[in-house]
Amino acid sequence: MKMLKHLALLLIFGLTTACKNNTDTAGNAEADTTEDSPTGYFGEKITEDGAIDASELLTLLQEGDSVFVKVRGKINECCQKKGCWMDVDLGNGKSMVVRFKDYEFFVPKNSAGYTAIMEGYAKLEVQDVEWLRHKAQDAGKSAEEIAAITQPDTSITFMANGVIIK
């Protein structure tokens, strides 16, 4: 039982420090990440060829399914601590959270409003309240907005191995 408590504390510590403020741009050798332009390649270098619109993902997935795909969509929001996740518009009033394989790379914090092409695994799954609150905190939401998150949400998540921001 004591071992489980230690493991749980370690997991919580890992999640809360994963998005700490850091300006490391590992894997972003071809990025123009100036104040005005967050465009470039991040993670594995991919091409735009064969990318589908993010709105098409809804037709490909049932709960629990996972599919390897290349997707294009508008970035609604990005982690403001490190760039370790982004929300991409699905075109139906919802967005999907995009994370980056093994935290090997991040995207610029000023990416909102730009178009991203990403390659990786899409999955339809339940996002728990703890993750939704963590994401809201990273996005700079107020304490009231964070506290208002009380229900899990079923949504598409995406684990990207490479991203192009245009």
Q: Which amino acid is at 6?
A: H
Indicate whether 103 pLDDT > 60.
yes
Residue 24's CB is within 10 A of a number of other CB atoms, namely 10
The pLDDT assigned to 35 comes to 56
Residue 85's CB is within 10 A of a number of other CB atoms, namely 25
The answer as to whether 5 is a domain residue is no
Phi and psi angles of residue 11, each rounded to the nearest 5 degrees, phi first: -65, -45
The answer as to whether 7 is a domain residue is no
> Mean pLDDT, to the nearest integer, of 122-148?
86
String of DSSP letters for 61-99: --TT-EEEEEEEEEEEEE-SSS--EEEEE-SSS-EEEEE
Number of structural domains (the chain) is 1
The answer as to whether 14 is a domain residue is no
Instruction: Using the structure block, give the residue that is written with the tokens 């790379």.
Output: 105
The answer as to whether 152 is a domain residue is yes
The answer as to whether 15 is a domain residue is no
Residue 146's CB is within 10 A of a number of other CB atoms, namely 15
31: left (phi over 0), alpha (psi -120 to 50) or beta: beta
Question: Tens digits of per-residue pLDDT, 18-47?
Answer: 444 333 344 444 444 445 789 999 999 999
> Mean pLDDT, to the nearest integer, of 13-18?
42
Q: Alpha-carbon distance 48 to 25, whole Å?
A: 22
Domain region containing 92? 21-165
The answer as to whether 42 is a domain residue is yes
Helix, strand, coil content of the chain in percent (nearest 5): 25, 35, 40
Average pLDDT, the chain: 80
Query: Hey, is 31 helix, strand or coil?
Result: strand
Judge if pTM exceeds 0.95: no
| Spatial contact of 107 and 38, defined as CB atoms under 8 Å apart | yes
Q: Which CATH number do you get for residue 148?
A: 2.40.50
- pLDDT band, very low/low/confident/very high, at 154 (cuts 50, 70, 90): confident
Indicate whether 12 pLDDT > 70.
no
